[in-house]
Structure 1
Amino acid sequence: MCDWANKMEYEMWTQHKDGGRRYGHMMTNISECVNSVLKGTRNLPVASLVKSTYLRLAELFVIRGQTAEAQLGSGHRYSQELVRAIERNLKDARCFTVTVFDRHQLDYTVAETTPTGRFSLGSYRVSLRDRICDCGYFQALHYPCCHAIACCAQSRLDWATYVDEVYSMSEVFKVY
């Protein structure tokens, strides 16, 4: 396995070399992913272990594919995980004061006026044009953090334009 992994470019399998391309719904720890698939198969012979792993993955892909197909068929634009995250961010964004620094370049400062649980009372710089925020979530997850959503609300912009296309149900469905 080490020889196989060493043949890949580092940005393909290490987070610190991924160039910011990691998305919120991907695993950051491959061992946790493998452990969840192999649960209950540790004492099996190698052939049985491989067969069990293959069958479990096939089952998971069918289940996830059916879920994605159902969401796509019922007209959902984004995955339900993203929708829940955006709803949390919308709720938190109500507690912020937004100052526009450059309306053409879409640069803002967001001051938190009450604690939200995930952030302390502080100030964050947001650039909607560059899709970055000082909190780090906007550029790491590739969808607007609560600070970016507050900026969108201040400037009457649609937050959905700042969501990476990988979260669209049509793209999720292609995976399965």
Structure 2
Amino acid sequence: MCDWANRIEYSLWTQHCDEGRRFGHMTTDISECVNSILKGVRNLPVCSLVKETYGRLAELFVRKRREAEAQMGTGQQFSQHLVKCIEANLKTARCFTVTVYDRDNSEFTVAETTPTGSFSLGTYRVSLASRTCDCGYFQALHFPCPHALACCAYSRLTWEPYVHQVYRLSLVFSVYQMGFTPPIPDGF
């Protein structure tokens, strides 16, 4: 497992190398995941903990690989989670007013307005070139927030280039390509 983990770019899975990037995951979420895996075997010997964890990981990798392969087979490019987030962000972005400040460097301001357009709820600076927004979500999650999507729509740009590669199904599939060796049966 260590060899497999070390082949993955450290910035994608270690907190000390992520340069502030968490891709929507918090440390407590990961520890809660591990706790749910170990639920029911906590009071067993260490060997049983390791076997249970290994077995569940093997099952998870097979299932996730099949899911990613099926989605890629239908021509999808991004994870379903990302697509749902983008769709929700696009709905939110409909009520925004975009002002271009520097078209060459893709610098904008976005005013959130009420659905009737009667007054502004807030203004955010967006830089598509540096993939930042004052709301903080663009740089924290590494895919366009509603403000960035409004800028893309205003400039007639597609949002796909502004999504980090970690959300691409091809990368998800490559993570789950690893095979597991069946464990040695008890008594040997």
TM-score band, normalised by the shorter chain? 0.7 to 0.9
1:46 Cα offset (Å): 1.6
- Using the alignment, how far apart are the partners of 1:78 and 1:28 within structure 2? 24
1:122 Cα offset (Å): 1.1
Contact 1:98 1:154 in 2 (8 A): yes
1:152 Cα offset (Å): 0.5
Equivalent residue of 2:99, what SS?
A: strand
Could you report, residue by residue, the CA deviation over 1:128-173 in whole angstroms, capped at 9, with x for unpaired residues? Answer: 0100000111111111010000001111111111111221111110
Equivalent residue of 1:100, what SS?
A: strand
The equivalent residue for 1:146 is 146
1:37 Cα offset (Å): 1.5
Contact 1:27 1:33 in 2 (8 A): no
2:35 partner letter:
N
2:95 partner letter:
C
Unmatched 5+ residue regions in structure 1? 1-9
1:159 partner letter:
W
- Using the alignment, how far apart are the partners of 2:48 and 2:33 within structure 1? 19
Q: Give the TM-score of the pair, scaled to structure 2.
A: 0.79
- Using the alignment, how far apart are the partners of 1:161 and 1:49 within structure 2? 42
RMSD across aligned C-alpha pairs, in angstroms? 2.1
1:121 Cα offset (Å): 2.1
Contact 1:37 1:57 in 2 (8 A): no
Equivalent residue of 2:97, what SS?
A: strand
2:64 partner letter:
R
> CA separation of 1:104/1:138 partners in 2, compared to 1, >3 Å: closer, same or farther?
same
User: Which is higher, the Rg of structure 1 or of structure 2?
Assistant: 2
1:163 aligns with 2:155: no
1:127 Cα offset (Å): 0.2
- Using the alignment, how far apart are the partners of 1:114 and 1:42 within structure 2? 52
The equivalent residue for 1:80 is 80
> CA separation of 1:95/1:28 partners in 2, compared to 1, >3 Å: closer, same or farther?
farther
1:23 Cα offset (Å): 1.6
- State, as a whole percentage, how many aligned pairs show the same letter: 67
1:151 partner letter:
C
Q: Which moved more, 1:94-103 or 1:26-35?
A: 26-35
The equivalent residue for 1:19 is 19
- Using the alignment, how far apart are the partners of 1:133 and 1:28 within structure 2? 24
1:28 Cα offset (Å): 3.3
Could you report, residue by residue, the CA deviation over 1:91-149 in whole angstroms, capped at 9, with x for unpaired residues? Answer: 0000111111111111001111028xxxx921110000100000111111111010000
Aligned residues: 161
Contact 1:98 1:110 in 2 (8 A): yes
The equivalent residue for 1:28 is 27
